[in-house]
Amino acid sequence: MTHDDILTGELLDDARLTLDELALACAIEPGWIIERVEAGYLCCMGVGQPQAWRFASAELVRARQLRAMERDFDANPELAALVVDLIEEVRGLRQQLSRMRR
């Protein structure tokens, strides 16, 4: 498997990933994640040392999106986070609209 392979699966709402598990799932270095957490672009549970942090499965999706924006569009982390925020907002609005139509 290469770094460009696409993996699919089911997200588990109560799943908690460690820093190393998240980095492995995103095919990135843990330092990249640490930088994004410290900047506020990714959220984690826990305090103290990064090895004690835990990440919800939704952060896996967000981290992959951030990485894709930075890699594919050569976006700086701030711009990538803004784009991902907008994508999440649009997704949420579409879900609300869909529920209202039912």
- Residues 92 and 48: their CA atoms lie apart, in Å, by 32
Q: Is the pLDDT of residue 23 over 90?
A: yes
> What pLDDT sits at residue 4?
59
Please give the residue that has the higher pLDDT: either 36 or 13. Answer: 36
Q: What is the CATH number of domain 16-101?
A: 1.10.1660.10
Between helices 77-101 and 57-72, what is the axis angle to 10°? 130
Q: pLDDT tens digit string along 38-95?
A: 999 999 999 899 999 999 999 999 999 999 999 999 999 999 999 999 999 999 999 9
pTM for the whole structure: 0.83
Cα(96)–Cα(83) distance, integer angstroms: 20
